[in-house]
Amino acid sequence: MTVMEQQGAGHAARTAPPPAWQPSTDPAPLLPDAEPYRVLGTPAAAHTDPALLRRLHAEVVRGRRYNTQATALTKQGRLAVYPSSTGQEACQVAAALALGERDWLFPSYRDTLAAVARGLDPVEALTLLRGDWHTGYDPREHRIAPLCTPLATQLPHAVGLAHAARLKGDDVVALALVGDGGTSEGDFHEALNFAAVWSAPVVFLVQNNGFAISVPLAKQTAAPTLAHKAVGYGMPGRLVDGNDAVAVHEVLGEAVTRAREGGGPTLIEALTYRLDAHTNADDATRYRTDDEVEAWRAHDPVLLLERELTARGLIDEAGLKAVRDDAEARAADLRERMNQDPELEPMDLFADVYAERTSQLREQAAQLRAELDAEAEAEAQAADGAEGGRA
Protein backbone atom coordinates (compact mmCIF):
# COMPACT_ATOMS: atom_id res chain seq x y z
CA MET A 1 0.00 0.00 0.00
CA THR A 2 1.38 3.35 -0.96
CA VAL A 3 1.50 6.29 1.40
CA MET A 4 -1.24 7.92 -0.63
CA GLU A 5 -3.44 4.82 -0.35
CA GLN A 6 -2.89 4.68 3.42
CA GLN A 7 -3.88 8.32 3.77
CA GLY A 8 -6.97 7.74 1.64
CA ALA A 9 -8.10 4.80 3.82
CA GLY A 10 -7.52 6.84 6.97
CA HIS A 11 -9.48 9.74 5.54
CA ALA A 12 -12.40 7.45 4.69
CA ALA A 13 -12.44 6.08 8.26
CA ARG A 14 -12.39 9.58 9.73
CA THR A 15 -15.36 10.74 7.62
CA ALA A 16 -17.58 7.65 8.14
CA PRO A 17 -21.03 9.08 8.85
CA PRO A 18 -22.37 8.90 12.44
CA PRO A 19 -25.34 6.61 13.11
CA ALA A 20 -28.39 8.05 11.42
CA TRP A 21 -30.23 10.51 13.66
CA GLN A 22 -33.97 10.53 13.71
CA PRO A 23 -36.19 12.74 15.86
CA SER A 24 -38.03 10.48 18.33
CA THR A 25 -41.26 12.30 17.55
CA ASP A 26 -42.25 13.96 14.29
CA PRO A 27 -42.63 17.61 15.34
CA ALA A 28 -45.04 18.51 12.50
CA PRO A 29 -48.27 17.17 14.10
CA LEU A 30 -47.42 18.95 17.36
CA LEU A 31 -47.30 22.40 15.77
CA PRO A 32 -50.14 24.72 16.76
CA ASP A 33 -52.81 26.14 14.48
CA ALA A 34 -51.39 28.73 12.07
CA GLU A 35 -54.32 31.05 12.95
CA PRO A 36 -56.29 31.13 16.20
CA TYR A 37 -59.07 28.55 15.89
CA ARG A 38 -62.48 30.25 15.65
CA VAL A 39 -66.07 29.07 15.33
CA LEU A 40 -68.29 32.09 16.09
CA GLY A 41 -68.64 34.37 13.08
CA THR A 42 -67.52 31.58 10.70
CA PRO A 43 -69.67 29.17 8.63
CA ALA A 44 -68.85 26.41 11.17
CA ALA A 45 -70.97 28.23 13.79
CA ALA A 46 -74.13 27.08 12.00
CA HIS A 47 -73.40 23.53 13.21
CA THR A 48 -73.13 24.47 16.89
CA ASP A 49 -75.76 22.82 19.05
CA PRO A 50 -78.34 25.50 20.05
CA ALA A 51 -78.46 24.16 23.62
CA LEU A 52 -74.68 24.57 23.96
CA LEU A 53 -74.84 28.11 22.56
CA ARG A 54 -77.58 29.08 25.02
CA ARG A 55 -75.76 27.48 27.95
CA LEU A 56 -72.47 29.22 27.12
CA HIS A 57 -74.27 32.53 26.68
CA ALA A 58 -76.13 32.29 30.01
CA GLU A 59 -72.91 31.36 31.84
CA VAL A 60 -70.84 34.10 30.20
CA VAL A 61 -73.46 36.78 31.01
CA ARG A 62 -73.64 35.50 34.60
CA GLY A 63 -69.86 35.58 34.73
CA ARG A 64 -69.67 39.16 33.50
CA ARG A 65 -72.15 40.25 36.16
CA TYR A 66 -70.29 38.27 38.82
CA ASN A 67 -67.07 40.09 37.88
CA THR A 68 -68.64 43.55 38.15
CA GLN A 69 -70.26 42.60 41.45
CA ALA A 70 -67.03 41.26 42.94
CA THR A 71 -65.18 44.41 41.83
CA ALA A 72 -67.90 46.55 43.47
CA LEU A 73 -67.42 44.57 46.70
CA THR A 74 -63.76 45.64 46.81
CA LYS A 75 -64.89 49.27 46.72
CA GLN A 76 -67.32 48.62 49.57
CA GLY A 77 -64.57 47.12 51.70
CA ARG A 78 -66.11 43.65 51.57
CA LEU A 79 -63.34 42.05 49.50
CA ALA A 80 -59.65 42.68 50.01
CA VAL A 81 -58.75 42.28 46.34
CA TYR A 82 -60.36 41.03 43.14
CA PRO A 83 -58.48 40.04 39.97
CA SER A 84 -61.32 40.43 37.48
CA SER A 85 -61.76 38.09 34.51
CA THR A 86 -63.95 40.54 32.60
CA GLY A 87 -63.16 39.91 28.93
CA GLN A 88 -61.92 36.41 29.70
CA GLU A 89 -65.30 34.85 30.60
CA ALA A 90 -65.32 32.57 27.54
CA CYS A 91 -62.16 30.80 28.79
CA GLN A 92 -63.50 30.63 32.35
CA VAL A 93 -66.84 29.13 31.40
CA ALA A 94 -65.45 26.76 28.76
CA ALA A 95 -62.89 25.45 31.28
CA ALA A 96 -65.63 24.63 33.77
CA LEU A 97 -67.91 23.00 31.20
CA ALA A 98 -65.17 20.93 29.55
CA LEU A 99 -64.56 18.90 32.71
CA GLY A 100 -66.43 15.87 34.01
CA GLU A 101 -67.55 15.66 37.62
CA ARG A 102 -64.57 13.55 38.68
CA ASP A 103 -61.98 15.69 36.90
CA TRP A 104 -59.90 18.33 38.67
CA LEU A 105 -59.55 22.05 38.02
CA PHE A 106 -56.32 23.84 39.04
CA PRO A 107 -57.11 27.57 38.98
CA SER A 108 -55.00 30.68 39.52
CA TYR A 109 -56.11 33.79 41.44
CA ARG A 110 -57.86 35.11 38.27
CA ASP A 111 -60.05 32.03 37.88
CA THR A 112 -62.73 32.33 40.59
CA LEU A 113 -65.30 32.48 37.82
CA ALA A 114 -64.21 29.08 36.43
CA ALA A 115 -64.64 27.65 39.94
CA VAL A 116 -68.10 29.22 40.27
CA ALA A 117 -69.14 28.00 36.82
CA ARG A 118 -68.04 24.51 37.96
CA GLY A 119 -70.57 24.78 40.77
CA LEU A 120 -68.65 26.25 43.70
CA ASP A 121 -70.66 28.59 45.94
CA PRO A 122 -69.71 32.16 44.85
CA VAL A 123 -69.19 33.27 48.45
CA GLU A 124 -66.89 30.32 49.18
CA ALA A 125 -65.00 31.14 45.98
CA LEU A 126 -64.31 34.66 47.28
CA THR A 127 -63.38 33.68 50.84
CA LEU A 128 -59.64 33.67 50.18
CA LEU A 129 -59.81 37.06 48.45
CA ARG A 130 -61.81 38.40 51.38
CA GLY A 131 -58.91 37.33 53.57
CA ASP A 132 -60.98 35.02 55.74
CA TRP A 133 -60.25 31.39 56.01
CA HIS A 134 -57.54 29.69 54.02
CA THR A 135 -58.96 28.31 50.76
CA GLY A 136 -62.58 28.92 51.75
CA TYR A 137 -63.79 25.58 50.37
CA ASP A 138 -62.94 21.92 50.48
CA PRO A 139 -60.84 21.26 47.36
CA ARG A 140 -61.51 17.51 47.51
CA GLU A 141 -65.27 17.92 47.66
CA HIS A 142 -65.38 20.13 44.58
CA ARG A 143 -62.29 18.78 42.85
CA ILE A 144 -61.03 22.34 42.55
CA ALA A 145 -57.52 22.96 43.87
CA PRO A 146 -57.04 26.15 45.94
CA LEU A 147 -56.94 29.38 43.91
CA CYS A 148 -53.22 29.76 43.45
CA THR A 149 -51.46 33.11 43.89
CA PRO A 150 -47.79 32.08 43.42
CA LEU A 151 -47.49 31.98 39.63
CA ALA A 152 -47.53 28.55 37.96
CA THR A 153 -47.09 26.51 41.15
CA GLN A 154 -50.48 24.93 40.43
CA LEU A 155 -49.06 23.33 37.27
CA PRO A 156 -46.75 20.69 38.83
CA HIS A 157 -49.56 19.96 41.31
CA ALA A 158 -51.92 19.27 38.41
CA VAL A 159 -49.38 16.99 36.74
CA GLY A 160 -48.75 15.12 39.99
CA LEU A 161 -52.44 14.57 40.57
CA ALA A 162 -53.05 13.47 36.98
CA HIS A 163 -50.09 11.08 37.00
CA ALA A 164 -51.10 9.61 40.37
CA ALA A 165 -54.66 9.11 39.15
CA ARG A 166 -53.42 7.20 36.14
CA LEU A 167 -51.15 5.01 38.27
CA LYS A 168 -54.19 4.18 40.40
CA GLY A 169 -56.26 3.41 37.30
CA ASP A 170 -58.62 6.37 37.91
CA ASP A 171 -60.22 7.88 34.85
CA VAL A 172 -59.41 11.46 35.91
CA VAL A 173 -58.16 14.46 33.90
CA ALA A 174 -56.60 17.59 35.42
CA LEU A 175 -57.07 20.98 33.75
CA ALA A 176 -54.58 23.63 34.84
CA LEU A 177 -55.07 27.33 34.09
CA VAL A 178 -52.15 29.74 33.83
CA GLY A 179 -51.51 33.23 32.51
CA ASP A 180 -49.09 34.36 29.79
CA GLY A 181 -46.72 35.66 32.48
CA GLY A 182 -46.85 32.33 34.30
CA THR A 183 -45.30 30.59 31.27
CA SER A 184 -41.96 32.22 32.14
CA GLU A 185 -41.81 30.44 35.50
CA GLY A 186 -39.62 27.41 36.12
CA ASP A 187 -42.69 25.55 37.37
CA PHE A 188 -44.22 25.86 33.89
CA HIS A 189 -41.20 24.14 32.37
CA GLU A 190 -41.03 21.40 34.98
CA ALA A 191 -44.75 20.70 34.78
CA LEU A 192 -44.85 20.45 30.99
CA ASN A 193 -41.71 18.36 30.81
CA PHE A 194 -42.93 15.81 33.36
CA ALA A 195 -46.43 15.79 31.88
CA ALA A 196 -45.13 14.89 28.43
CA VAL A 197 -42.54 12.33 29.59
CA TRP A 198 -45.13 10.59 31.79
CA SER A 199 -47.92 11.09 29.24
CA ALA A 200 -50.01 12.40 32.13
CA PRO A 201 -53.74 13.08 31.58
CA VAL A 202 -53.45 16.84 31.99
CA VAL A 203 -54.46 19.84 29.89
CA PHE A 204 -52.75 23.23 30.21
CA LEU A 205 -54.82 26.27 29.27
CA VAL A 206 -52.80 29.48 28.95
CA GLN A 207 -55.06 32.51 29.02
CA ASN A 208 -52.91 34.95 27.12
CA ASN A 209 -54.51 38.26 28.07
CA GLY A 210 -51.58 40.28 26.73
CA PHE A 211 -50.11 41.37 30.07
CA ALA A 212 -48.48 40.20 33.26
CA ILE A 213 -49.69 43.17 35.31
CA SER A 214 -47.98 45.94 33.26
CA VAL A 215 -45.52 43.71 31.35
CA PRO A 216 -46.68 43.15 27.75
CA LEU A 217 -46.26 39.78 26.05
CA ALA A 218 -43.45 41.05 23.81
CA LYS A 219 -41.29 41.54 26.91
CA GLN A 220 -42.29 38.14 28.26
CA THR A 221 -41.30 35.84 25.40
CA ALA A 222 -39.72 35.73 21.96
CA ALA A 223 -41.58 32.52 21.02
CA PRO A 224 -43.72 32.72 17.85
CA THR A 225 -46.72 31.92 20.06
CA LEU A 226 -46.96 30.46 23.56
CA ALA A 227 -48.59 27.40 21.98
CA HIS A 228 -45.32 26.70 20.11
CA LYS A 229 -43.69 25.92 23.45
CA ALA A 230 -45.62 22.64 23.40
CA VAL A 231 -43.43 21.26 20.60
CA GLY A 232 -40.28 21.54 22.69
CA TYR A 233 -41.83 19.29 25.32
CA GLY A 234 -43.25 16.80 22.83
CA MET A 235 -46.95 17.54 23.22
CA PRO A 236 -49.39 19.12 20.77
CA GLY A 237 -49.99 22.87 20.94
CA ARG A 238 -53.29 24.52 20.04
CA LEU A 239 -53.97 28.19 19.39
CA VAL A 240 -57.54 29.34 19.89
CA ASP A 241 -59.52 32.57 20.00
CA GLY A 242 -60.02 32.85 23.75
CA ASN A 243 -63.05 35.12 23.38
CA ASP A 244 -64.90 32.56 21.26
CA ALA A 245 -66.59 30.40 23.90
CA VAL A 246 -67.60 27.75 21.37
CA ALA A 247 -64.07 27.40 19.99
CA VAL A 248 -62.44 27.22 23.44
CA HIS A 249 -65.06 24.69 24.58
CA GLU A 250 -64.39 22.53 21.52
CA VAL A 251 -60.59 22.65 21.72
CA LEU A 252 -60.64 21.96 25.46
CA GLY A 253 -63.12 19.12 24.98
CA GLU A 254 -60.85 17.45 22.42
CA ALA A 255 -57.81 17.82 24.67
CA VAL A 256 -59.66 16.43 27.71
CA THR A 257 -60.87 13.43 25.71
CA ARG A 258 -57.39 12.83 24.34
CA ALA A 259 -55.91 12.95 27.86
CA ARG A 260 -58.60 10.61 29.22
CA GLU A 261 -57.97 8.10 26.45
CA GLY A 262 -54.25 7.92 27.27
CA GLY A 263 -53.09 10.32 24.55
CA GLY A 264 -51.18 12.53 26.99
CA PRO A 265 -51.11 16.27 27.65
CA THR A 266 -51.96 19.26 25.42
CA LEU A 267 -50.95 22.90 25.71
CA ILE A 268 -53.64 25.33 24.60
CA GLU A 269 -53.03 29.03 24.20
CA ALA A 270 -56.23 31.08 24.28
CA LEU A 271 -55.82 34.62 22.95
CA THR A 272 -57.91 36.94 25.07
CA TYR A 273 -57.77 40.29 26.86
CA ARG A 274 -58.53 41.46 30.35
CA LEU A 275 -60.77 44.47 29.92
CA ASP A 276 -60.39 45.50 33.57
CA ALA A 277 -57.17 46.42 35.36
CA HIS A 278 -54.98 43.65 36.81
CA THR A 279 -56.86 44.01 40.12
CA ASN A 280 -58.78 46.80 41.82
CA ALA A 281 -55.37 48.00 43.08
CA ASP A 282 -53.95 48.56 39.57
CA ASP A 283 -54.21 51.52 37.19
CA ALA A 284 -54.13 50.02 33.68
CA THR A 285 -54.12 53.43 31.95
CA ARG A 286 -50.44 53.67 32.86
CA TYR A 287 -49.40 50.90 30.47
CA ARG A 288 -52.05 50.56 27.75
CA THR A 289 -54.15 52.82 25.57
CA ASP A 290 -57.91 53.30 25.56
CA ASP A 291 -57.87 52.53 21.82
CA GLU A 292 -56.44 49.08 22.49
CA VAL A 293 -59.11 48.37 25.10
CA GLU A 294 -61.88 49.60 22.78
CA ALA A 295 -60.62 47.38 19.95
CA TRP A 296 -60.98 44.36 22.22
CA ARG A 297 -64.44 45.47 23.37
CA ALA A 298 -65.57 44.97 19.77
CA HIS A 299 -64.49 41.32 20.15
CA ASP A 300 -66.20 40.82 23.51
CA PRO A 301 -67.10 37.20 24.36
CA VAL A 302 -70.68 38.18 25.32
CA LEU A 303 -71.13 40.09 22.06
CA LEU A 304 -69.86 37.18 19.92
CA LEU A 305 -72.38 34.77 21.47
CA GLU A 306 -75.28 37.23 21.30
CA ARG A 307 -74.58 37.95 17.64
CA GLU A 308 -74.66 34.23 16.83
CA LEU A 309 -77.79 33.48 18.88
CA THR A 310 -79.63 36.45 17.36
CA ALA A 311 -78.52 35.70 13.79
CA ARG A 312 -79.81 32.13 14.11
CA GLY A 313 -83.06 33.27 15.71
CA LEU A 314 -82.24 31.32 18.87
CA ILE A 315 -82.90 34.22 21.23
CA ASP A 316 -85.12 37.30 21.22
CA GLU A 317 -85.36 40.40 23.43
CA ALA A 318 -87.36 38.55 26.07
CA GLY A 319 -84.80 35.73 26.09
CA LEU A 320 -81.92 38.17 26.48
CA LYS A 321 -83.74 39.90 29.32
CA ALA A 322 -84.38 36.59 31.09
CA VAL A 323 -80.65 35.80 30.99
CA ARG A 324 -79.78 39.27 32.30
CA ASP A 325 -82.41 39.01 35.08
CA ASP A 326 -81.00 35.65 36.17
CA ALA A 327 -77.47 37.13 36.32
CA GLU A 328 -78.79 40.12 38.27
CA ALA A 329 -80.55 37.90 40.82
CA ARG A 330 -77.36 35.91 41.39
CA ALA A 331 -75.35 39.11 41.82
CA ALA A 332 -77.90 40.41 44.35
CA ASP A 333 -77.62 37.18 46.33
CA LEU A 334 -73.82 37.40 46.28
CA ARG A 335 -73.93 41.04 47.42
CA GLU A 336 -76.31 40.29 50.26
CA ARG A 337 -74.33 37.33 51.53
CA MET A 338 -70.97 39.12 51.23
CA ASN A 339 -72.40 42.04 53.22
CA GLN A 340 -72.93 39.81 56.24
CA ASP A 341 -70.02 39.85 58.62
CA PRO A 342 -68.47 36.40 58.70
CA GLU A 343 -68.02 34.70 62.05
CA LEU A 344 -64.33 34.13 62.38
CA GLU A 345 -62.34 32.04 64.79
CA PRO A 346 -58.89 33.71 65.00
CA MET A 347 -57.22 30.48 66.12
CA ASP A 348 -58.12 28.97 62.72
CA LEU A 349 -55.13 30.91 61.38
CA PHE A 350 -52.99 28.05 62.62
CA ALA A 351 -55.20 25.18 61.46
CA ASP A 352 -54.18 23.04 58.47
CA VAL A 353 -50.88 24.84 57.91
CA TYR A 354 -48.53 22.01 58.82
CA ALA A 355 -49.31 18.42 59.81
CA GLU A 356 -47.05 19.08 62.80
CA ARG A 357 -46.93 22.67 63.99
CA THR A 358 -43.48 24.27 63.98
CA SER A 359 -42.07 25.72 67.21
CA GLN A 360 -42.59 29.30 65.93
CA LEU A 361 -46.21 28.60 65.08
CA ARG A 362 -46.75 26.94 68.48
CA GLU A 363 -45.37 30.08 70.13
CA GLN A 364 -47.49 32.40 68.02
CA ALA A 365 -50.61 30.31 68.63
CA ALA A 366 -49.98 30.40 72.40
CA GLN A 367 -49.51 34.17 72.25
CA LEU A 368 -52.75 34.69 70.33
CA ARG A 369 -54.62 32.34 72.67
CA ALA A 370 -53.39 34.35 75.68
CA GLU A 371 -54.39 37.65 74.04
CA LEU A 372 -57.86 36.36 73.16
CA ASP A 373 -58.36 34.99 76.71
CA ALA A 374 -57.25 38.31 78.22
CA GLU A 375 -59.63 40.20 75.92
CA ALA A 376 -62.52 37.91 76.84
CA GLU A 377 -61.75 38.34 80.54
CA ALA A 378 -61.59 42.12 80.23
CA GLU A 379 -64.95 42.13 78.42
CA ALA A 380 -66.47 39.91 81.11
CA GLN A 381 -65.16 42.23 83.85
CA ALA A 382 -66.48 45.28 82.05
CA ALA A 383 -69.89 43.58 81.76
CA ASP A 384 -69.80 42.69 85.48
CA GLY A 385 -68.89 46.26 86.32
CA ALA A 386 -71.81 47.57 84.29
CA GLU A 387 -74.13 45.09 86.05
CA GLY A 388 -72.75 46.16 89.44
CA GLY A 389 -73.25 49.82 88.57
CA ARG A 390 -76.90 49.24 87.73
CA ALA A 391 -77.56 47.13 90.86
Ligand X SMILES: Cc1ncc(C[n+]2csc(CCOP(=O)(O)OP(=O)(O)O)c2C)c(N)n1
Which phi and psi (to 5°) does residue 37 adopt? Answer: -70, 130
Closest contact distance (angstroms) between CB of 179 and Mg ion is 4
* CB 246, CB 45: distance < 8 Å: yes
* CB 94, CB 135: distance < 8 Å: no
**Residue 151 contact, options ligand X, Mg ion, none, Cβ 5-8 Å cut-off depending on partner type:** ligand X
Amino acid at 17: P
* CB 163, CB 134: distance < 8 Å: no
Interface residue with ligand X, options 62, 64, 65, 110 (CB under 6 A): 110
Binding of residue 86 to Mg ion (CB under 5 A):
no
Interface residue with ligand X, options 36, 63, 182, 242 (CB under 6 A): 182
Quickly list H helices, 107-261. 112-117, 122-130, 139-142, 154-167, 186-198, 229-233, 245-260
Interface residue with ligand X, options 74, 127, 209, 243 (CB under 6 A): 209
Amino acid at 189: H
* Residues near 115 by beta carbon (within 8 Å), at least 6 away in sequence: 96, 105, 107, 125, 142, 144, 147
Q: Which residue, 155 or 256, has its beta carbon nearer to ligand X? A: 155
Site string for Mg ion, 206-245 (x = CB under 5 A): ---x--x---------------------------------
For 18-38, b where at least 16 C-beta lie within 10 A, e where not — what string? eeeeeeeeeeeebbbbeebbb
Binding of residue 273 to ligand X (CB under 6 A):
no
Catalytic residue among 54, 228, 260, 287: 287
Binding of residue 180 to Mg ion (CB under 5 A):
yes
Say whether 274 is catalytic: yes
* d(C-alpha 296, C-alpha 291), whole Å: 9
Binding of residue 213 to ligand X (CB under 6 A):
yes
Q: Which residue, 39 or 284, has its beta carbon nearer to Mg ion? A: 284
Q: Which residue, 88 or 266, has its beta carbon nearer to ligand X? A: 88
Say whether 278 is catalytic: yes
Binding of residue 122 to ligand X (CB under 6 A):
no
Query: Angle CA(31)–CA(32)–CA(35) in degrees, nearest 5?
Result: 135
Of all residues in the shown chain, the one whose CB is closest to ligand X is 179
* d(C-alpha 184, C-alpha 75), whole Å: 32
**Residue 7 contact, options Mg ion, ligand X, none, Cβ 5-8 Å cut-off depending on partner type:** none
Say whether 228 is catalytic: no
What are the catalytic residues?
A: 274, 278, 287
Binding site for Mg ion (CB under 5 A): 179-180, 209, 212
Binding site for ligand X (CB under 6 A): 110, 149-151, 179-182, 209, 211-213, 278
